[in-house]
Amino acid sequence: MVKIIDVSEFNGNVDFEKVKAAGISGVIIRCGLTGYGVAKNKYIDRNFEKNYAAAVAAGLPVGVFWYSCAVTEDEAAAEAAKTIELLAGKTMQLPVYWDTEDNHDVTKAGVAPQNQRMIGKAKLTACANVFLDAIRAAGYVPGIYGSSSWLEYQLDMQNVRTDNVWVAQYYKECQYRATVYDMWQYTSSGSVDGVSGRADVSECYFDIPLGKTVDELAAEVMAGKWGNGTERKVRLAAAGYDYDAVQAAVNALVGAAKPVSAPVRKSNEEVAKEVLRGVWGNGGTRRQKLIAAGYDYGAVQAIVNKLMG
């Protein structure tokens, strides 16, 4: 378990060198938000570019979140498009989160007549999946953020298409039980060197940087997706991967002279019990490891959810 902070323009000037020295292992940066007004204007966080550049310079893994007010699938698609636009030329080692918590007062003049709480589980879940699917299609790892009660009662989390669930509950323990989760924001009043005033702090349970397995990357290298020579090394390093480990796997594939006998496969039930014991990791890491080992991730996760319920 490591600690993550999330920041926005409200945190002012953040000294990410001090943040890293304080033992923080990564940062989730707000890239933008949808306004409460009738026009549903999209706003870029005023400190996004500065925060991204400074966090990267400090060597901190980075992810982002978009604060959503989408109440239709088209609005969610527009939020995803703006997020993807803002990520152009940037590398994410952590997920891209859809922040859903919109409960604005619809009785006020000039505000949108509906908030996310009003539209029901099915519609909000559909909006979530539009955003998440678009982020995934753009090559990023999607995630969803909300309070424990919001995720459990406003969304059909069994049908939200992401394993990267970031739960907010400011309590001594996280009581969210609808699905597995891989980040817990346990305070909005933390004290972190480098952040003036209060800081949002989360426990993170997945491996950082988040990404593909070495074997998956080696297969992509063999398919020509990462270029050659120095270009390959630079691109893999920029994406947060261990070039030497990937290249060693590539060399093994190239030099393989005889087939390797298939490992003994366990039943989905056996693997699900291992998941609950933490053998396979969490979130995206779990998915990648299970798929790389030849297991049906969806079938295993369904059994895990059943055992949890």
What is the token pair recorded at 146? 């909300």
What is the token pair recorded at 106? 């619809």
Distances (CA, A) of 170 to 148, 203, 247, 295, 308: 10, 12, 43, 36, 22
Distance CA 147, CA 166 (A): 8
| Torsion angle defined by CA atoms of residues 100, 180, 208 and 234, in that order, rounded to the nearest 10 degrees | -70
Per-residue pLDDT of the chain (309 residues; tens, 9 = 90+): 899 999 999 999 999 999 999 999 999 999 999 999 999 999 999 999 999 999 999 999 999 999 999 999 999 999 999 999 999 999 999 999 999 999 999 999 999 999 999 999 999 999 999 999 999 999 899 999 999 999 999 999 999 999 899 999 999 999 999 998 999 999 999 999 999 999 999 999 887 877 667 787 888 888 887 778 887 887 776 555 678 888 888 888 887 634 545 556 789 999 988 888 888 877 767 776 777 787 887 788 878 878 886
User: Which superfamily does CATH assign the domain made up of 2-204 to?
Assistant: Glycosidases (3.20.20.80)
Specify which residues 98 forms β-bridges with. Answer: 66, 144
* 299 CB-side CA count, 13 A: 10
- Residue 117: closest CA among 157, 86, 154: 154
Pairing of strands 142-147, 165-168: parallel
Which 8-state DSSP code applies to residue 11? G
Distances (CA, A) of 82 to 100, 120, 131, 138, 239: 16, 25, 11, 12, 21
| Torsion angle defined by CA atoms of residues 208, 211, 214 and 218, in that order, rounded to the nearest 10 degrees | -150
Pairing of strands 2-7, 142-147: unpaired
What is the token pair recorded at 281? 């990791």
Statement: the pTM of the whole predicted model exceeds 0.85: no
Structure confidence at residue 103 (pLDDT): 97
- Residue 58: closest CA among 25, 16, 4: 16
CB 144 within 8 A of CB 166: yes
What is the token pair recorded at 128? 């979530």
